[in-house]
Structure 1
Amino acid sequence: MLSRLLSVLAYLNKARPLLDIESASKVAPEDCFLSEGSYQDGRLALIHTEAQMLRILGYQTHVSLPYAICINYLQALDVFTTSENGQALAKKAFAHLNSALFSPQLLYLTHQPPSLATAAIYLPAKEIGVKLPGEEWWEVFDVDREELGFLVVSLISMEGFIAEETQKWSKTKVPLTLEDVQAWIDKEAQS
């Protein structure tokens, strides 16, 4: 499994720019072959980095995600039985939760999973036009109007952020190695 991960990383390093599908498909598989030495170096670096991360995290690796909470909330709101758009609402809610992972506001770090799940339901309900029960149904899930508003605005802004980042990285190599990241930081500091 580790060899596959390192092979994918070698492939990503060869495909320049990363977001250009045409150039990525031109990379020959044999160009991504890892020699035994390269594999061992990558393996040791990966194991060392993993050990450092575990020490920093204090071996606390449990993460609570809003996906299951979102499904529970949708069931509690009786969306699947009362609306023909219930599945579409669930799909869009999950899409918003997935895009929130990339948010520059670090929503998954700054907000609790129930709040994220509530905002991920609220926004697509408005987009699709699904009527949810009650005037302020989100209060049942302990989310106040201010937090809900902030999260909804953050989720809406993701489309612009994605377009901006796609434009920014479309003509350059995405830094994947420590050396590439350091070079990118140095270049950004000079400009």
Structure 2
Amino acid sequence: MSGNSYTLQPLASLSQIKETPSRTDGIPSELEEDLRAYGCKLIQQAGLLLKQKQVAMATAQVLFQRFWYVTSMKQFGIGDIGMGALYLASKLEECPIRMRDLINVYDLLLSRARYHISSPSSSSLASGSRFSLEHSALAPPVYIPMPYFAPEFYDLKDALVVAEMQILKRLGFNVHVQLPYGTMVNYLQVLGLAGHEQVPQSCWDYLNDALQAPVYALFPFPTLACASILLSTRHHDVSLPSGWHDLFDAEYDDVMAVAGYIMRLYRERSEEDKKRWIHLAIGGKKAVRKWLEDQGGGAS
């Protein structure tokens, strides 16, 4: 991974962008995007339940995205790496999480996901889930917590430790993350938009959503800030001066590329597609490997 002129924060190389390790192993690029996005959603949901600082959740998602430019989803599970990234980020941002709390929260989130893709007629409990399927409109599904000394806990603990170690190892211990929020606010001040009623909050929201896309591992943070401003001002019909992005050393084509990545997150997806990536995400590397075998060893 290479550096850039703005920061020591690493960005993916051209060869890694062209052919990610997962793509080399036969995972289609669109499926990889979906799995990345879903893994980041799990990190955000876990962070909120654990009352983590936003900077820690954002840092975890950036590390998670970087990891898949050096490692294939055939080798490590989405849930395990997400859990490891959040655990590592909580220490980097000095708001450490108790390991047991993190494991319990991920067990809750993954069990809920299993419940939602399970057939109501399959069993009293969704396969692998701790949510009861025996409920009505007046009695919602009930989560059955993991027993304190359950073997599953120790399996998840081992997976968490390995995930954190692998993130550090495969990223070469370069886990510095610089986020574009402050830069975006400065740019809005230069453009005279910092006091706008809607634009600043909209920019912030776009930058949060962008964490689900790989852009934080592909572009320097000034470009990300400019992309959020471009999307926000277009959404709220606010005009910008010609060549405004040049003020911030951001290439227009790069700004448009980031905007395109973000807008792809909002595209409509079929229920079948959603179930497929949730199944592969919660099933981990074993589910991904089986899916690849079912596809004949790879996909085009």
TM-score by length of 2: 0.52
- How many corresponding residue pairs? 181
Give the secondary structure class of the aligned counterpart of 2:279: coil
| Bigger Cα Rg | 1
Question: Counterpart of 2:204 in structure 1: which amino acid?
Answer: F
Offset of residue 165 of structure 1:
6.8
The equivalent of 1:58 in structure 2 is 172
Structure with more helix by fraction:
1
> Aligned partners of 1:175 and 1:13: how far apart in 2?
9
**1:111-160 Cα shifts (integer Å, max 9, x gaps):** 1110011011011101102233x322111001122222333333333311
1:175 aligns with 2:281: yes
Query: What is the match of residue 123 of structure 1?
Result: 231
Tell me the SS of whatever aligns to 1:111: coil
Cα distance 1:17–1:41, how it changes in 2: closer, same or farther (>3 A)? Answer: closer
| Mapping 1:27-176, distance limit 5 Å | 27-81=141-195, 83=196, 85=197, 88-103=198-213, 106-132=214-240, 134-160=241-267, 163-164=268-269, 168-170=273-275, 173-176=279-282
Does structure 1 conserve the Cα–Cα contact (< 8 Å) formed by 2:185 and 2:194?
Answer: no
Which whole-Å CA distance do the structure 1 matches of 2:245 and 2:211 have between them? 22
TM-score, normalising length: structure 1? 0.77
**In 2 relative to 1, CA 54–35 (structure 1 residues): closer, same or farther, beyond 3 Å?**
same
How far the C-alpha of 1:18 sits from its partner, in A, is 6.5
Within 2, Cα distance between the matches of 1:117 and 1:19? 36
Rounded to whole Å, the distance in 2 between the matches of 1:39 and 1:74 is 47
Question: Matches of 1:76 and 1:166 in 2, distance apart?
Answer: 44
The one-letter code matched in structure 2 to 1:28 is V
Deviation at 1:9, TM superposition (A): 2.4
How far apart are residue 107 of structure 1 and its match?
A: 1.7
1: CA distance between counterparts of 2:290 and 2:221? 36
The letter of the residue matching 1:78 is G
- Structure 2 unaligned blocks of 5 or more: 1-97, 118-125, 133-139
